[in-house]
Amino acid sequence: MMGMMRMMRVACLVTMIVVLMWSSRTNTNSRLRMVRMVSGIGANWGTQASHPLPPDTVVRLLKDNGFQRVKLFDADYDTLNSLAKSGIEVMVGIPNDMLTSLATSVKAAEKWVSKNVSAHISSNNVKIRYVAVGNEPFLATYNGSFLRTTFPALQNVQSALIKAGLSNQVKVTVPQNADVYASSNGFPSGGDFRTDIHDYMIQIVKFLSDNGCPFTVNIYPFISLYIDSNFPVDYAFFDGNASPITDGSATYYNMFDANYDTLVWTLQKNGFGNLPIIVGEIGWPTDGDRNANLVYAQRFNQGFMSHILGGRGTPMRPGPIDAYLFSLIDEDAKSIDPGNFERHWGIFTFDGLAKYQLNLGSTNSGALVPAKGVRYLERKWCVMKPSASLDDPQVALSVSYACGLADCTSLGYGTSCGNLDDRANISYAVNSYYQRNNQLDEACKFPNLSMITKTNPSVGSCRFEIMIEPYYGAAERRSGHLQKPLSLVALFVFFMLTLV
């Protein structure tokens, strides 16, 4: 989900579903069947982090946890190179801001495919299986920005794959937000593409069908709960506590099945009932909102895994479902325009620690395996001085500055650090900034406010982080130049302002 305003996802379907009648259901999870019937779950690997884990570490994390497929949002060289000979199937991504250049030039598409697909397959044995052309380009909040470039870009990338002799092993797709379709009657059977993009969608779907390519959709029940306080909470999950919806001969016990089958009906209604479907993103965040927490995230993701690994599929599409969990690791540099939860979708923390018990059906232990060999900075934190006063006029300015350049999304009502007192809130903010800037002494010199301590200030569920060592990439290591924290310039300006 990426992009802007996930709260638009499935809003049309949700609004109609919540007014329907609900009744009861029994739970039918089966762990014995789950391991046998599906080849494995995929994961989204996003890299919008101030301190990303080294790619080799992430690939080992994927393999240790039995992930057989990974979805990327770009074609970063180091990332793809780290996947060489791993056996992990890869969906490589083309960002939306590249669609115009690829749409207007076949040569540009050929160059992109040669550099980011052909070279990695032939030289590094990277198992690239899909190219994602754009990411939710028809999202309603984009206001049509990519309507006229997505399909031509798709055509040109496909032509480039054909020219490279790769079109049989590498398929194109366009990950779409679930808001590209809606229901006219509140039931899956009323599904069809949005009227404003109907012709564009048919154009793309026909092209995918003609070339043996899948339709990719991102589905987020969490967003329904986030935008609608009247949404029936249990219907977002898979444990049978919600009352079902009946649509003809089909019965729906959870929102995922209903949304997925709305797409199935949409495709069927337009003559593409057999088009393969991939769930490109699905998951639940763990912080940044009162409904984004460890309990709900574990409940949703484990329920989803049990649901799809059972191999039953949905009422309209029985059988295995291809899906990629969103996401693998937290990303502390993502935009929080959609909500503070955006930085907390990972099943692992930024440093590769498992957040909760999750059985993916792919490890002997039935639990997540943490990242190995993670290297941390020194065990020290930046906190508010005991002598500092809460009434100091610099406090508000300092906290605002720190949070604006670091990450304070774990602070606030209903979050993991929501129960901190005022002094602890301030300490959390300045420590986030300090760690973001690699524990530089200058990053803990908020006027009359902060000090460095070696006593861990973490409280209960609120973790005061120690940052991992920065990863600069192969190019920077080869050149011998190290990246400097961008915010040091801003820090200097801040201190100059405090002297005025």
| Three-state DSSP state, 280 | strand
Q: Provide the 3-class DSSP secondary structure of residue 383.
A: strand
Question: Is 89 among the catalytic positions?
Answer: no
Residues 281, 331, 342, 465: which is the catalytic one? 281
**Rounded Cα–Cα distance for residues 263 and 269 (Å):** 10
Alpha-carbon distances, residue 343 vs 23, 214, 249, 315, 339 (angstroms):
35, 29, 40, 34, 9
231 C-beta neighbours (distance < 10 Å), count: 20
> Residue 175: which of 140, 131, 217 has the closest Cα?
217
Alpha helices in 240-357 (DSSP H): 255-269, 294-309
342 a catalytic residue: no
Q: For residue 208, list its beta bridge partners.
A: none
Q: How far apart are the first and last CA of the chain?
A: 43
Best CA proximity match to 171, nearest among 128, 201, 205: 128
What three-state secondary structure class fits 163? helix
In 3D space, the residue among 437, 430, 467, 468 whose CA is nearest the CA of residue 452 turns out to be 430
Q: How many angstroms separate the CA atoms of 304 and 302, rounded? A: 5
Alpha carbon distance 235, 18 (integer Å): 9
Selecting among 110, 136, 342, 465, the annotated active-site residue is: 136
- 150-163 and 198-210 helices cross at what angle (nearest 10)? 10
Active-site annotation, residues:
136, 281
